[in-house]
Chain A
Amino acid sequence: MPSNKSVSDAPIVQFTNCRILRDHQLQREDLWVREGKILNPEKLFFDEKGSADVQLDCKDSIIAPGFIDVQINGGFGVDFSLATDDFKSGIDLVSQKILSHGVTSFCPTLVTSPSSVYHQVLPQISVRNGGTHGAGILGAHLEGPFISKEKKGAHPEHCLRTFEAGAFQDLLATYGSLDCVQIVTLAPEMRRSSEVIRELTKRGICVSLGHSVANLSQAEEAVQHGATFITHLFNAMLPFHHRDPGIVGLLTSDRIPAGRKVFYGMISDGIHTNPAALRIAHRAHPKGLVLVTDAMAGMGLAPGRHTLGQQVVEIDGLNTYIAGTKTLSGSVATMDTCVRHFQEATGCAVETALEAASLHPAQLLGIEHKKGTLNYDSDADFLMLNDSLYVQATYIAGEEVWRQDVSGM
C-alpha cells in the first residue's frame, strides 16, 4: 500500500491478533511500533496518512510491557558482588539470559561487601539500553552495608557500617561513586540516616528501607525524608505487631506525604513469603506491590553450592540457604515464575500480576513515561505471553530479542 509518511521513513510494524495491556486492562487492539517506540496509529493515519509496512499475526497472544527486576544479585554462576576479572562478561551473560524470563530492564544488585568491592565493581556497571545483547541496565541497587546487625540475614557482619562518623560522606567513600546507582537499601533507625536519605533523594536515587529493626514512626520519618521503597517486605525486618506494625505498617500508614506512594518489593517464589502473607500485603496496598526475584548466582543452575558476595550458599530445590544454616539468602526464582506464582496465590487478575512486574517498578523509579507501559511514545519493550503467563517472545525497542523454541525448552 503506498503511503506518504511525513514524519519518518522508518518501517512501521503492526502486531495484530493480540490482546494488549493498556490502561490496566487487556484490550483487543493492535500494537504499532516504529523506531523502537510504541506508535499512535490514529495520528499515523490522519496526520501522516501512513500505514503499516509489516503486519505480524500474534496468534491471540497477550502482549504486556517487559518485566523490570529491581533486585537481582546475579544468576547462571555470576555473582554481581564478586569483583572478578571478567565482571563485565558476567553481567552481559545474566542480562542476556534473563530475556527468556521476560525481563527487559534490571538493576544489578550488590549485597553488603567490603568497600574495595564497590570501588572495583561499580565503575564497571553502566546504564545502558537493552537489545539483542540483553536486558537494559537501569542502574545498580546497593543493598547494604548501612543496615542493621540484627537483621543482616545473609549479609556478612564484618562489612556492616553505620553513618555515625560522616553520614553522607561516609556513604560516598564506601561506595566510591554514585554515578550509576539507582537504588540504595538502608536501615532508617540508624543515627543520621535522615540526612543521608535526603542527600540520596536529591540526587535522584531511590532510597529503600530494609534489613532493619525500625519501628513504624522511624520508617514514616524516613519516608518523609524521601524513602519510597521497602526491600523484600516481611523479610529482614521486624514482624508486624498490632501495636507497632514496624516497616510493614507503611503499607497503610496515613503519614505518607501527599502525592507520594510507598512501593514494596515482594519475592513471590513461594518460599520467602507464605502465600497468606503475600495476600495480606497485596490486599492492603495493591498499587504499591513490586515483584522482585532477589535471584542469586545459583539461579538457572543445578542445585549445589554457590557464592553470594562474601558468603557460601547452598541450593536445594527452590530453597537457598547460607551453607549449613536455615537463613534464606537470595533466591533462584525467575521473574516469570514469580509473576505466575503471584497470580495463583492471590487469585488476582492477569493484568494486576503483569503490572506488578512492569508498571509498578517503572513508577517506583520514576520512568513510567518510557518504560513499564504500552502507552504511545513509550519504549517498545514488550513480551508475548500465552494465557498461562508463560513468555513466548521478548522484544526490546521493537526488535525480537528472544523467542521460545517451538520444539520445547
Chain B
Amino acid sequence: MKLIILENYSQASEWAAKYIRNRIVQFGPGPGRFFTLGLPTGLPRDHPESYHSFMWNNFFKHIDISPENVHLLDGNAPDLQAECDAFEEKIKAAGGIELFVGGIGPDGHIAFNEPGSSLVSRTRVKTLAMDTILANARFFDGDLSKVPTMALTVGVGTVMDAREVMILITGAHKAFALYKAIEDGVNHMWTVSAFQQHPNTVFVCDEDATLELKVKTVKYFKGLMLVHNKLVEPLYSMKEMEAERSQSKKPYSD
C-alpha cells in the first residue's frame, strides 16, 4: 500500500485529483479503450439529494463524458437484485474497473459494505448501519426519519477486482477507522481492511486522519513523500501523451 499524507483536506483532494488525472492520461483512453473509473454508490434516485444529482453537480457537468458511458445503480429498479447482477455484468463488459476511488466510513466501511459484510461480497442491497444513517442525516436536514435505510452498493469483492484502489480519508473522526484498516488485521468488521490483500492500493489522507496511527507508521510514509510526489509531478496532459505515445512511463510500484 502507498499511504500519502497531506496537510489538510484541500491538499489531500488536490493530490488525489492529480494522481487520477495522471493515471487516466498515461492509460491512454480512446474510442473502444475505456478507462473505467469506479465510484461508490448511494441514495435512491428521486430524492433531491440523490446520488444522480450529486454526481451531476460535482462531476459530470464539469467534464465532457458521454451519458452512455455512465452507469449508476438504479435504486428505483423493479427487481433490485437483478439490477445489481446486471451491474456486475456491465463492469465485466467494460473490461473491469481500472481504478476504484472511494472513501471510508467512521465504522471502517467501503462503499456501503457495513461491518459484518462478507469480504468477498458482490453488488447487492444492503441495510445501512446506524452510524451511516447518522452520518447521512446532514443531507436530510438532520431528520433521521427521512434518511433512507437501504442502499445498493458494490461489494468488497467487486472493489477487490479493480486493478487499482484509491481510498480518500480526511478528518479526525475517521482516524480510528484508518488505524483499524491499515495497522490491524484483515477483519470483516472493518471492511476497508480487505485492501491489505490488494496488490495496488493508495490511501490518501490528511494529518487529522493519522491521529490514531503509530508515530513509526506516519514517519515512514511521510519519508516516502519525495518518491510518491513523483506520481503527481509532472502533471501530464492528453495532448502531450499523444505526442510521445512511444515513451510511456510505468507508474511507481512498491
User: Residues on A close to B: CB < 8 A?
Assistant: 1-4, 30, 41-42, 45-46, 48-51
Contacts and interface: CB of A to CB of B under 8 A. Distances in A.
B68 A45 contact: no
B174 interface: no
Contacts of B72: 46
B52 A51 contact: no
Interface stretch (B59-67, B100-108, B113-121, B201-209): B59-67
A46 B52 contact: yes
Contacts of B70: 45-46
Interface of B: 52-53, 56-57, 60-61, 64, 66-68, 70, 72
Contacts of B64: 1
A46 B56 contact: yes
Contacts of B66: 1-3, 51
A3 B67 contact: yes
B52 A50 contact: no
Nearest to B67: A49
Nearest to A55: B64
Nearest 9 CB-CB pairings of A with B: A49-B67, A42-B56, A45-B67, A46-B52, A49-B68, A1-B66, A45-B60, A45-B56, A51-B67
A48 B66 CA distance: 12
Nearest to A51: B67
B52 A42 contact: yes
Contacts of B60: 45
Contact of B68 (A4, A30, A41, A42): A4
Contacts of A51: 66-67
A68 B1 CA distance: 62
Contacts of B56: 41-42, 45-46
Nearest to A45: B67
Contacts of A1: 64, 66
A3 to B, nearest CB: 7
Contacts of A3: 66-67
Nearest to A48: B67
Contacts of B67: 3, 45-46, 48-51
A1 B72 CA distance: 20
Which among A1, A4, A46 has the greatest number of chain B C-beta atoms within 10 A?
A46
Nearest to B52: A46
B53 to A, nearest CB: 7
A55 to B, nearest CB: 10
A41 B52 contact: no
A42 B66 CA distance: 13
Nearest to B68: A49
A49 B52 CA distance: 13
Given A45-B67, A46-B72, 11 more contacts: A1-B64, A4-B68, A41-B56, A42-B53, A42-B56, A42-B61, A45-B56, A45-B70, A46-B56, A46-B67, A51-B66
A199 B250 CA distance: 81
6 contacts: A3-B66, A4-B68, A41-B61, A45-B61, A46-B70, A51-B67
Nearest to B53: A42
Nearest to B66: A1
A50 B66 CA distance: 8
Contacts of A42: 52-53, 56-57, 61
B137 to A, nearest CB: 24
Nearest to B72: A46
A46 B67 CA distance: 7
Nearest to B57: A42
Nearest to A49: B67
A1 B66 CA distance: 7
Contacts of B53: 42
Contacts of B52: 42, 46
A46 B54 CA distance: 12
B69 to A, nearest CB: 10
A46 B55 CA distance: 11
A23 to B, nearest CB: 14
A2 B67 CA distance: 10
Nearest to A4: B68
Nearest to A41: B61
Nearest to A29: B61
A46 B60 CA distance: 10
Nearest to B56: A42
B31 to A, nearest CB: 11
A300 B179 CA distance: 74
Nearest to B69: A49
A49 B64 CA distance: 13
Contacts of A45: 56, 60-61, 67, 70
A5 to B, nearest CB: 10
A328 to B, nearest CB: 50
Which among A2, A48, A49, A50 has the greatest number of chain B C-beta atoms within 10 A?
A49
A51 B60 CA distance: 11
A41 B56 CA distance: 9
A278 to B, nearest CB: 38
B66 to A, nearest CB: 6
A96 B68 CA distance: 43
A49 B68 CA distance: 6
